[in-house]
C-alpha cells in the first residue's frame, strides 16, 4: 500500500533493535504505584494500550534509581522487594507482545525529591540532595551530595539498568532534563560546585557521563540507551541552546538516541508541556539545531499531534523520531491511524491539562476526550451486546456528551437516533471556533460526528427531543444530553445592543468593538478576554469574586492567569455589576463605592444553568432514562464525555 505518511511509518534501528515506526510514546507516570514502588496492574494496562495503538516504543516512567536519596512516590526496581522484578517483567511483556518496544525511564529527582507525593507535607519533610548546598525557592534546605553518595547513585543506575534488561525492557531512557538530578549537575542554575563535578561544562557533564558508562556496562554494547536533554532551560542563570549543543556533543559517544526536550522544573511548565497558548511543536527548533551538531539520531517532543507536522519534521531532517504524550492519551491509536491512512479519525489532544491536573490533584489519570484513560482494565473496546439485548436508543442533544453516548451505544449494536434541536452539532463547543487556541476543542465535534456516522447513528438536526417524539420512536432507552443555557441575570441594560453573550461570540464577533468589558471572570470569561486582548483590543475583566477562574484546573489556571497578566488585561476583582450602558458597566466595589468600567462592547460570561425544564419533560419518555453533562449539572466536557460513555454502557 502507499502510506500517506511514509517517513513517520518508516522503521528505525537503534543499536541492534528495530522499532516499527518513528512515533514513540513519551514517558508518562502510572497511577497504581505500590507503596514499595511496584508497577500496579492498572499502570501495566495503561502502558499496554499505547502499544496496542501502534507506537514504535512505549516508555514507562519514572523509575527512581536510588530511593534512599530520592523519596518520590514513583517506580522502584529492586530484587529485594517482593514482586518488583515480576511487575516490571509483566509490564515489559504487555508492551512487547503488541509489537512495540518497551522502554523504561531511569531518573532521580535530586533536590526535588517527593514531587510525586500527594501529601506535599511529607515531601517537605524529606532530606533533599543536590549538587550543592542551598535553599529551594520554597524554603526547603538542600544538601550537597558527597563523592561517596555520587558513587553510590552512579552504581545504582547501572544496577537498575541490568534489572530492567532482565525484565524485558529493550531500551532505557536516562532522564537528564527538566531540572531533575542529572540536569541539576548540567545546569549552572543549580550547580555551583568547585570540584571535578562543577565549574566547566566538561565537569558539569561528568556525572551524566559516569551514569551512562555504568548503564552501558550493565546492558552491553548493542542495547539502546536514550538520553533526555533539555535543549534549553529557558530561564535566567540556566543554559541556552548554545550550551545545550555542547552538552549534547559531550553525551553523544555514550548513547544511541538523543531525546531533546526543554525547560526546567516548576519554572517552565507551559513550555516543557506546551499549553494551548503555545504553538504545536514549539520546541522542535531545539532538536533541529542540535541535530546539526551530532551524529546520533535525535528525537523531538512538545505538543505534537498533527501527522502533517510530524511527517514534515522527519522528512525535512529536523528529527529522526517524534514523541507524543498527551496526544496518545487523547487517542492511543493515533500511530495506527497514521500507518493505516486513517488520520481523519484521530481524536486530537485539546491541551487542556485535565490529564496533568488529575495526576497532581488525585494521583489518577483522566483525559477530557477519552474516558478509557485510567480505566483500561475495564476494557478499551466496547463489547457488543447479544442480538436479543439490542435496543432502540434515543440521545437528546448533540454536544460532546451526547455524541459520545450515541457512538458508544451504536458500537454496542443498539439502534441509535440522535436528536439535536439546533441545525448544527456541538453544543457549547460551537462557541470555541472563535478562539484560535481552542480550535481543536471545536474540531472535536466533527471527529465525534464522524465516529457516530460510521457506527450507523441516525443524526437528526433541527429535531428537538420531546416526550412525544421520543415515545414515537419506541425508545427503550433515552440519554438526556440537552446541555445548559447562558445565565443572563436581570441587570439593567444587559439586554442592550452592545451586549454579546459569550456563547454567541462566534456568531457576533464582528459586532465587538475595540474597547471591551468582559463580565464574568470564570474560565469562559477569562479565555475570551485573552483572545480579545490577543486581537489587540483593550479589555477589562469584571469579576464579583476575589479571584479569577477558580473553575480552571490546577495546571491550566496558572498559565491562563499569566496570559491575562502578560496581555495587560484590566482585572477588576470584587466588582459587582449594577447596570450596563453604552459607556460600559457600572459596578459596586468591595469598598462600597460605584465605578464605571468603560467599554463600547460588553461580553456576558456569567455562567450557565442546566436546562432543567427539558430534562423534566423527558423524565418519563422511555423505560431507561439517564441525564448527563450540563443537563444534570453544569460541569466540564470531561464529565459530559465520561457520563455519556458510561450511560451507553449501562443500557
CATH number of the CATH domain containing 208: 3.20.20.70
**100 pLDDT higher than 90:** yes
**116 pLDDT higher than 80:** no
CATH number of residue 634's parent domain: 3.40.50.720
Give per-residue pLDDT as tens, 373-406: 989 998 878 889 998 999 999 999 999 999 999 9
- Is residue 458 located within the same domain as residue 346? no
**122 pLDDT higher than 80:** no
Beta strand segments in 89-136, E = 101-107, 128-130, 134-135
Contacts of 529 (CB under 8 A, 6+ apart): 516, 518, 539, 541, 564, 569, 603
Does residue 493 sit within a domain? no
**345 pLDDT higher than 90:** yes
**Dihedrals φ, ψ of 80, to 5°?**
-80, -10
Asked which of 83-97, 112-126, 583-597 is least confident by mean pLDDT, the reply is 112-126
Q: Which domain holds residue 438?
A: 385-486+610-650
Dihedral sign of CA atoms 112, 118, 124, 126 in order: negative
- Is residue 46 located within the same domain as residue 186? yes
By CB atoms closer than 10 A (0-12, 13-18, 19+), residue 630 is: buried
Give per-residue pLDDT as tens, 60-74: 999 999 999 997 778
Beta strand segments in 85-167, E = 101-107, 128-130, 134-135, 141-144
Average pLDDT over the chain, rounded to whole? 96
- Is residue 601 located within the same domain as residue 617? no
**133 pLDDT higher than 80:** yes
- Cell readout for 122 is 511529607
d(CA 556, CA 568): 19
- Is residue 137 located within the same domain as residue 170? yes
d(CA 178, CA 99): 30
What pLDDT score was predicted for residue 48? 97
Give per-residue pLDDT as tens, 182-204: 999 999 999 999 999 999 999 99
**237 pLDDT higher than 80:** yes
- Is residue 311 located within the same domain as residue 426? no
Does residue 328 sit within a domain? yes
Beta strand segments in 488-605, E = 499-501, 515-519, 538-543, 570-573, 576-581, 584-588, 594-598, 601-604
**Dihedrals φ, ψ of 63, to 5°?**
-105, 120
Does residue 162 sit within a domain? yes
Proportion of the chain above pLDDT 90, given as a percent: 91
- Is residue 21 located within the same domain as residue 75? yes
CATH number of residue 578's parent domain: 3.50.50.60
- Is residue 599 located within the same domain as residue 516? yes
**Dihedrals φ, ψ of 606, to 5°?**
-100, 20
Q: What residues form DSSP beta bridges with 107? A: 64
User: Euclidean distance between the first and final Cα of the chain, in Å?
Assistant: 40
Contacts of 331 (CB under 8 A, 6+ apart): 53, 337, 346, 347, 348, 349, 369, 370
Closest CA to 545 of 484, 593, 590, 497: 590
**Where does a domain end: 377, 412, 434?**
377
Neighbours of 69 (CB within 10 A): 23
Asked which of 19-33, 108-122, 435-449 is least confident by mean pLDDT, the reply is 108-122
What pLDDT score was predicted for residue 361? 83
**324 pLDDT higher than 90:** yes
Neighbours of 640 (CB within 10 A): 28
Give per-residue pLDDT as tens, 459-507: 999 999 999 999 999 999 999 999 999 999 999 999 999 999 999 999 9
What pLDDT score was predicted for residue 465? 98
Give per-residue pLDDT as tens, 535-545: 999 999 999 99
Does residue 1 sit within a domain? no
By CB atoms closer than 10 A (0-12, 13-18, 19+), residue 472 is: exposed
Does residue 334 sit within a domain? yes
DSSP output for 39-57: BPHHHHHHHHHHHHTT-SE
- Is residue 367 located within the same domain as residue 473? no
**458 pLDDT higher than 70:** yes
As a whole number, mean pLDDT of residues 42-59 equals 97
d(CA 429, CA 316): 35
What pLDDT score was predicted for residue 114? 82
Q: What 8-state DSSP symbol labels residue 569?
A: -
**Dihedrals φ, ψ of 311, to 5°?**
-60, -45
DSSP output for 276-299: TTS-TTTTHHHHHHHHTT-SS-EE
As a whole number, mean pLDDT of residues 586-591 equals 94
Closest CA to 585 of 507, 496, 523, 505: 496
**120 pLDDT higher than 70:** no
Does residue 491 sit within a domain? no
- Is residue 222 located within the same domain as residue 346? yes
- Is residue 629 located within the same domain as residue 594? no
d(CA 390, CA 470): 17
**Where does a domain end: 344, 377, 410?**
377
Q: What is the pLDDT confidence band of residue 85, given thresholds at 50, 70 and 90?
A: very high
Contacts of 240 (CB under 8 A, 6+ apart): 232, 233
Neighbours of 379 (CB within 10 A): 11
**118 pLDDT higher than 70:** no
- Is residue 399 located within the same domain as residue 288? no
Does residue 492 sit within a domain? no
Q: What is the pLDDT confidence band of residue 220, given thresholds at 50, 70 and 90?
A: very high
What pLDDT score was predicted for residue 124? 72
Task: Determine how β-strand 576-581 pairs with β-strand 225-230.
Answer: unpaired
d(CA 541, CA 532): 11
- Is residue 410 located within the same domain as residue 348? no
Does residue 574 sit within a domain? yes
d(CA 266, CA 529): 26
Contacts of 160 (CB under 8 A, 6+ apart): 63, 65, 77, 78, 106
SS3 state of residue 636: coil
What pLDDT score was predicted for residue 30? 87
Domain count, the chain: 3
Neighbours of 619 (CB within 10 A): 12
Dihedral sign of CA atoms 25, 29, 34, 36 in order: positive
Amino acid at each position: 500500500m502507499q502510506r500517506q505518511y511514509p517517513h513517520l511509518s518508516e522503521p528505525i534501528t537503534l543499536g541492534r533493535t528495530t522499532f516499527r515506526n518513528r512515533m514513540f510514546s513519551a514517558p508518562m507516570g502510572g497511577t497504581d504505584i505500590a507503596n514499595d514502588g511496584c508497577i500496579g496492574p492498572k499502570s501495566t494496562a495503561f502502558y499496554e494500550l499505547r502499544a496496542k495503538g501502534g507506537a514504535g516504543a512505549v516508555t514507562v516512567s519514572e523509575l527512581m534509581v536510588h530511593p534512599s536519596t530520592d523519596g518520590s512516590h514513583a517506580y522502584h526496581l529492586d530484587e529485594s522487594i517482593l514482586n518488583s522484578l515480576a511487575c516490571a517483567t509483566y509490564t515489559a511483556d504487555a508492551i512487547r507482545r503488541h509489537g512495540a518496544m518497551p522502554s523504561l525511564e531511569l531518573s532521580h529527582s535530586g533536590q526535588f525529591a517527593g514531587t510525586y507525593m500527594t501529601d506535599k507535607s511529607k515531601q517537605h519533610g524529606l532530606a533533599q540532595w543536590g549538587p550543592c548546598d542551598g535553599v529551594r525557592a520554597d524554603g526547603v534546605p538542600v544538601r550537597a551530595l558527597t563523592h561517596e553518595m555520587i558513587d553510590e547513585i552512579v552504581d545504582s543506575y547501572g544496577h537498575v539498568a541490568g534489572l530492567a534488561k532482565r525484565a524485558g525492557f529493550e531500551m532505557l531512557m536516562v532522564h537528564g532534563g527538566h531540572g531533575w538530578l542529572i540536569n541539576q549537575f548540567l545546569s549552572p542554575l543549580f550547580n555551583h560546585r568547585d570540584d571535578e563535578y562543577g565549574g566547566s561544562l566538561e565537569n558539569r557533564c561528568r556525572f551524566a557521563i559516569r551514569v551512562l558508562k555504568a548503564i552501558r556496562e550493565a546492558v552491553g554494547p548493542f542495547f539502546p540507551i536514550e538520553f533526555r536533554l533539555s535543549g534549553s532551560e529557558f530561564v535566567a542563570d540556566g543554559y541556552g541552546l548554545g550550551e545545550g549543543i555542547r552538552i549534547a556533543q559531550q553525551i553523544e559517544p555514550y548513547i544511541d538516541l538523543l531525546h531533546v526536550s526543554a525547560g526546567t522544573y516548576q519554572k517552565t511548565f507551559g513550555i516543557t508541556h506546551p499549553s494551548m497558548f503555545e504553538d504545536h511543536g514549539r520546541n522542535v527548533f531545539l532538536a533541529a539545531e542540535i541535530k546539526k551538531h551530532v551524529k546520533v539520531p535525535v528525537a523531538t517532543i512538545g505538543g505534537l499531534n498533527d501527522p502533517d507536522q510530524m511527517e514534515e519534521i522527519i522528512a525535512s531532517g529536523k528529527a529522526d523520531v517524534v514523541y507524543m504524550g498527551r496526544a496518545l492519551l487523547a487517542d492511543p491509536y493515533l500511530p495506527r491511524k497514521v500507518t493505516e491512512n486513517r488520520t481523519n479519525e484521530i481524536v486530537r489532544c485539546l491541551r487542556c491539562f485535565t490529564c496533568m491536573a488529575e495526576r497532581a490533584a488525585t494521583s489518577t489519570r483522566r483525559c477530557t476526550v477519552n474516558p478509557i484513560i485510567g480505566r483500561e482494565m475495564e476494557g478499551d473496546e466496547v463489547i457488543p451486546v447479544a442480538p436479543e439485548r439490542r435496543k432502540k436508543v434515543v440521545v437528546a442533544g448533540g454536544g460532546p456528551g451526547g455524541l459520545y453516548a450515541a457512538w458508544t451505544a451504536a458500537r454496542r449494536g443498539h439502534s441509535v437516533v440522535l436528536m439535536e434541536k439546533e441545525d448544527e452539532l456541538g453544543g457549547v463547543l460551537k462557541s470555541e471556533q472563535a478562539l484560535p487556541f481552542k480550535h481543536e476543542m471545536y474540531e472535536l465535534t466533527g471527529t465525534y460526528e464522524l465516529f457516530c456516522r460510521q457506527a450507523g447513528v441516525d443524526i437528526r438536526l433541527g429535531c428537538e427531543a420531546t416526550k412525544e417524539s421520543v415515545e414515537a420512536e419506541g425508545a427503550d432507552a433515552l440519554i438526556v444530553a440537552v446541555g445548559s443555557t447562558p445565565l443572563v441575570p436581570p441587570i439593567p441594560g444587559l439586554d442592550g445592543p452592545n451586549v454579546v453573550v459569550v456563547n454567541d461570540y462566534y456568531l457576533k464577533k464582528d459586532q465587538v468593538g475595540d474597547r471591551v468589558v468582559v463580565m464574568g471572570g470564570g474560565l469562559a470569561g477569562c479565555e475570551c478576554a485573552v483572545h480579545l486582548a490577543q486581537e489587540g483590543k483593550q479589555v477589562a475583566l469584571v469579576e464579583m469574586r476575589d479571584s479569577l477562574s477558580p473553575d480552571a484546573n490546577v495546571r491550566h489556571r496558572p498559565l491562563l492567569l499569566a496570559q491575562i497578566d502578560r496581555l495587560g488585561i484590566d482585572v477588576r476583582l470584587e466588582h459587582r455589576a449594577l447596570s450596563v450602558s453604552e459607556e460600559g458597566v457600572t459596578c459596586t466595589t468591595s469598598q462600597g463605592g460605584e465605578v464605571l468600567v468603560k467599554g463600547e462592547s460588553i461580553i456576558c460570561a456569567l455562567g450557565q444553568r442546566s436546562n432543567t425544564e427539558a430534562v423534566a419533560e423527558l423524565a418519563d419518555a422511555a423505560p431507561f432514562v439517564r441525564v448527563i453533562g450540563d443537563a444534570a449539572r453544569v460541569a466540564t466536557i470531561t464529565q459530559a464525555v465520561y457520563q455519556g460513555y458510561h450511560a451507553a454502557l449501562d443500557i
